[in-house]
Amino acid sequence: MIRAVLFDMDGLMFDTERLATETWMELGRRHGIPVTRELMDETRGRPLEDCVRIFKKHLGQEFDFFKHRGERKRYMDAYLEQHGLPVKPGLGRLLGYLRENGYKTALATSTHEEIAGAYLKMAGVEEYFDCKVFGNMVERGKPNPDIYLCAAKLLGTPPEECLVLEDSPCGVCAGWRAGCRVIMVPDLVEPSREDLERADACVPSLNEVISYLEN
């Protein structure tokens, strides 16, 4: 029986994976740096230290990740200030349903607390989560299971009674390794056969999660 629902954030709740890709590639065009979609796909759902390693693998050890990340963040902030935070379809309805029906909820995101907290406030959904686990709170990031095991422990719910919602293969693997049930809601990366084997279901949007819980 599912008693708790554990949410990823980027690419699942908010359309921020797409924005991150577009702003990194824009930075690349401005500076003549070959930031490719393949490079960005490799970083999906991974913790910051993994992203640094992946960028340096593709662009060379001399690549100053944090300098360029600061510039990229300014592009992102300018977009959000002008257009607002893009929220994925069905998020508000699902969070309302979970609250009304007594499910525990947790956020479990690789993003660090400062940025993730700001996004939650922008979207007005901060209060819907019983606990939050950020990327800087666990030693090993996704695809390791630590972040979901931590969230389940904080909720006081066994992993097998938790449902993980994820958009990336990396996150699906983390939820599966934690012993949780997993629904994949693909964003920018199409699910592989392995992803589909690990996930209990694969749905096009958060709107379909309620039907899964009711059935």
Question: Does residue 86 have a cis bond before it (omega within 30 degrees)?
Answer: no
Q: Distances from the Cα of 17 to the Cαs of 22, 97, 103, 117, in angstroms?
A: 9, 25, 27, 16
Spatial distance between the Cα atoms of 46 and 190, rounded to a whole number of angstroms: 17
Of 10, 50, 130, 146, the active-site residue reads 10
Spatial distance between the Cα atoms of 167 and 186, rounded to a whole number of angstroms: 5
Examine the residue annotation and report whether 130 is marked as an active-site residue of this protein. Answer: no
Closest CA to 96 of 125, 130, 123, 133: 125
Cα separation of the two ends of the chain: 11
Helix (H, G, I), strand (E, B) or coil at 173: helix
Which residues are registered as beta bridge partners of 163? 5, 181
DSSP assignments along 176-191, one per residue: HHTT-EEEE--SSS--
Examine the residue annotation and report whether 8 is marked as an active-site residue of this protein. Answer: yes
**What amino acid positions are annotated as catalytic residues?**
8, 10
